[in-house]
Chain A
C-alpha cells in the first residue's frame, strides 16, 4: 500500500484515537473467525456428521489423502457436494457484497448506498424472472441459465444507468444515483408484471428475490469466485483513489486522483462483483449496506482498511447467517442477517462516541 499521508479528516474520524495497530488485530481476528465459521458451516447441518468424518472427506477429496476413515457415500456427498461449496460461496459472496457496498458508499458519498444502488438488483431479478418464464428457460434451467441471465441483467441495468446518468463529472453523483433509482423503478415494475403473470413459476422467481445459498455448487462458485475475488482485489488496490473520492471531487483532484477515470473503474469493479454475487445467490441484502459501516466504526473510514476488513467481516457474517438459516429450515438468509445483525449494529452505533461522516 502507498505510504502517502492520508488526509487528517479521514484518519481522525471514528475511533481514530484507538485504532492504531488495531486494523491488523481486527483483520487477524476476522480471519480466525472466518476459519471457525467455515468449519462450523461444514460440520453442522440437518444431518449429524462427526468432525472426523468431515475432515476425512475433505482431506480425501481435496488432497487425495486417505486416512482410513470409513463413511457412507451419502456423507461424502453432503460434505463435499453440498456443505463445502455452500460455505465457500457464502464467504465469497459475503466478501464481494461487503466490498461492493463499501465502494458504492464511498463513490456516491451516501451512507445508505448498497451494492444494488445502481439498479443491479432489479436488473438481475428481471433477468432471472425472464429466464424462468421464457419457455426455453424450463429446459435449460439446470445449466444455470437463470444465473447467466441474472448476471447479464445486473450488468445491463448498471450499464444503462452509467450511459444515462454518467459516471463522472462534477455533481454527477446525484444524477447517477437518481438515474439508478429511476431505471431501477422501471425494471422493478417490469419484474412485478413478470411475477404477476408467472403462474406456476412464482415461487422460483420469489426465491431469487429472497436470495439464498441453497443453489450453491462447485460449478457456480468456480464461475463467480474469480470475478468477485478479482474485483475485490482490484478495488483494494485502488483504495487510495477511493479515499480521495471520499473527500469530494475537488480535493481528490488536488491529491492527484484522476476523478473521472478512477470513479469509472471503481464503479465497474463494484458492479462486476455485485452482478457475479447476485447471479449465484439471488438478492441478498443487509451485508452490503451494514458491514462497511460496522467496519468503519471499528477501524475508521480509510478505505485501505475498510475494503480488506469489510471483505473478511462480510464473509464471516454471511457464512454464519447461512448456517443459522440452514438450521432453521432454510429460511431466507437475509432475514437471519437482519434479525441477528441489525441489533448488533444498533448497539455498535450507540457505543461509538464519535461517529463519522461519509
Chain B
C-alpha cells in the first residue's frame, strides 16, 4: 500500500504542512501499521545564519486608536461573512500564525486557547490546547465560551469542526494565506476581528516595507554577483518513499525566494511535491534545508538520498541550513524569516535595519 501523499497545502505554511503531514501519517500508521515514515534524521542543523546587522528596536509612530468598530461583519478567506457583535474578549486561535498575529497586535491577553503547534511568543506556550495532532476538541472550545474562533482554511482546520462550531453560534473566522499579499490581508483581517485594526495596519506596513528592503538589498547582491543560481528550498523529505517537498509554485515562499534574485525550483502548487526527475533536470546549485524541531536533515544525510548525488549542489557541497519556522509560518515574524533566508543566500549581505515585527510581550 502506498502512503497517501502528505497533505501539504496550497497556503505555504511549513508548520501547517508539517502538522498536516504528521496528522495524516499518524492516521496512516494507526490504520495500516505498515509504513513507517520518518524524516531523515541526523545531527542538529548547524546554524549558518549570522546577523549582519543588529536590528535596533524602533518605536512605531503612535497611531491614534480608532473607535472600536463593533458590531462588525468581516468576510473571511472562504467568503463567509462573520459578524462580531462586540470586541472579542475570549479568542481561540487554531493556527500558530494566528496566535502570533494576535499577540503581535496586542490582543494576546484575550487569547484563551490555541492549537498544539502555537509555540510563539513565550506567553502562548502556556495556553490550553484545543487542537491536538489536528483533532479539534469542539467540546473544550465550547466550554471556554469564546466569542471568536480563528481557524485555518484549506483543510488546516477540519471543516467538520468549523461547521459544528458555527452551528453552535460561535463565530469562526477562517484565514488561509497562499501569497505574501494573502498574508498581509490576513494580518489585517485577524487584527480587525480582534478589534486591533490600527495595530494590524502598522504591523502590515512595517512588515511590507521590511520585506521590500531586504529584497532590494538581496537583489543588489544578486546583480553584483552577476549570476542567478538555481536554488531548491527543501521543505521536507520522506525517506521511505523518497517524496520531496519544496516551495509550492506561487506560494509566499516562492515569492520570497524570487525577491532574493534566485532561480527558484518549485513544487506542485497543491501538494508541494517535487518529482525527483524534475529536481535532477532543474539541477539546483544551492540547496537550502529548512530545519525545525521535527525536520533535521544535514548535508550528509541529503547527500545519501537516492538520486540526489547527481545534483550540482550535492557535488559542490553547497547545502545550507536555515531555521525554517519564521520563514514558512505566514505570520508577523515573516521579515525575520526573510532576513534569515537572505543571509543564508548571501552571508555577507549587509541588511538595512529591520524593525522587529514581533510580539511586544515576547523576549528575544
Contacts and interface: CB of A to CB of B under 8 A. Distances in A.
A199 B145 contact: no
Contacts of B139: 45-47, 78, 82-83
Contacts of A206: 4, 24, 27
A31 interface: no
Contact of B168 (A81, A199, A329): A81
Interface string B151-178: 0001100111101101110000000000
Interface of B: 4-5, 7, 9-10, 20, 23-24, 27, 30-31, 132-135, 137-140, 142-145, 154-155, 158-161, 163-164, 166-168, 270-271
Contact of B4 (A78, A195, A335): A195
Sorting the interface of chain A by its residue count into under 10, 10 to 19, 20 to 34 or 35 or more gives: 20 to 34
Contacts of B271: 199
Interface stretch (A91-99, A209-217, A346-354): A209-217
Interface string A4-20: 00000000000000000
Contacts of A207: 27, 158, 160
A47 B20 contact: no
B24 A335 contact: no
A210 B31 contact: yes
A47 B143 contact: yes
Most-contacted residue by chain A among B4, B132, B143 (CB, 10 A) = B143
A77 interface: yes
B30 A332 contact: yes
A3 interface: no
B68 to A, nearest CB: 24
Contact of A82 (B5, B30, B142, B160): B142
A214 B5 contact: no
A203 interface: yes
Given A77-B168, A215-B164, 10 more contacts: A45-B139, A74-B145, A75-B143, A141-B159, A142-B166, A200-B10, A200-B155, A203-B24, A206-B4, A210-B27
Contact of A202 (B7, B159, B168): B7
Closest 7 CB pairs of A and B: A200-B155, A47-B143, A199-B270, A74-B145, A202-B7, A330-B135, A142-B163
A153 B160 CA distance: 20
Given A78-B142, A196-B4, A204 B159 contact: yes
Contacts of A74: 142-145
A200 B158 contact: no
B10 to A, nearest CB: 7
A253 interface: no
Interface in A95-113: none
Given A199-B271, A206-B4, A217 B143 contact: no
A203 B23 contact: yes
Interface in A322-353: 329-332, 335
A83 B143 CA distance: 12
Contacts of A78: 139, 142-143
22 contacts: A46-B137, A72-B145, A74-B143, A74-B145, A78-B139, A141-B159, A199-B271, A200-B270, A202-B4, A202-B5, A202-B7, A202-B155, A203-B23, A203-B24, A203-B155, A204-B159, A206-B4, A214-B138, A214-B160, A215-B160, A217-B164, A332-B30
Contacts of A330: 135, 137
B137 A329 contact: yes
A1 interface: no
A77 B155 contact: no
Contacts of B270: 199-200
Given A73-B145, A82-B138, A204 B160 contact: yes
Contacts of A209: 31
A174 interface: no
Nearest to A204: B159
A221 B154 CA distance: 28
Interface centre among B4, B133, B144 (most CB of A within 10 A): B4
